[in-house]
Amino acid sequence: MSALRVARIRAVMLLALAAVATAPPPALAADKQIRPFIGSAFGGATTFVDPDNVVGRPNFTWGVSVVTLGEVVGFDIDFADAPGFFEGDQRLVLSGHVTTLTGNVVVAAPRRLTEYVLRPYAVGGFGLMRIHRDDYFNVFTVNRVAPAFDFGGGILMFLTNRIGTSLEVRRFQTIDRQGDEPGLLITCCTERLSFWRAGVSLAIRY
């Protein structure tokens, strides 16, 4: 084999090694998770008449989020229900629920740096809030589906390759709109309900 041919082979091998060494690392597959959670709604405020004066008190919530999270950016679909949201000791309200369904953008700390440690993230998006209430006298009954937005943040940590947990706080608020039944509102004609939600979830990769 001629010296020139050997030199060419060496040059090709050196170029191949350089290309491998300088190539960016392969992208990690999107992290797909399902997160059933329980928590509490608190700090609520509303322009709807609140017969039992309980909207600002803590109220049990449950739900589930489906999350797809990349290296930094992802999205989630979040469903939650707060049974008994308007019910209090005076029992003027027979039953009440506040249900939310939102789609959100998630921005998290880089996955490569936080794979097995705490991974903080921020979340925000838009969706719908269903407000339902039946009262004893059938005067303050509400059954609304309103556009809403949410925002917040949390911390995610995986204990194994597939199982982890997260702590999260979000604020939910309807987008103000004109009501068609002013008698149901504290301030005429503007429907609004807002509250915070804190929760703990079981994060399951799939």
Can you list the domains of the chain with their CATH numbers? Answer: 29-205 (2.40.160.20)
Other C-beta atoms lying within 10 Å of the C-beta of residue 90 = 11
Mean pLDDT over each residue of the chain, to the nearest integer: 84
User: What's the rounded mean pLDDT across residues 142-171?
Assistant: 95
CA distances from 18 to 21, 33, 73 (A): 5, 37, 31
Q: What is the pTM of this model?
A: 0.80
- pLDDT tens column, 40-63: 999 999 988 888 889 999 999 999
Query: Which pLDDT score is estimated for 180?
Result: 55
- pLDDT tens column, 112-141: 887 768 999 999 999 999 999 887 777 778
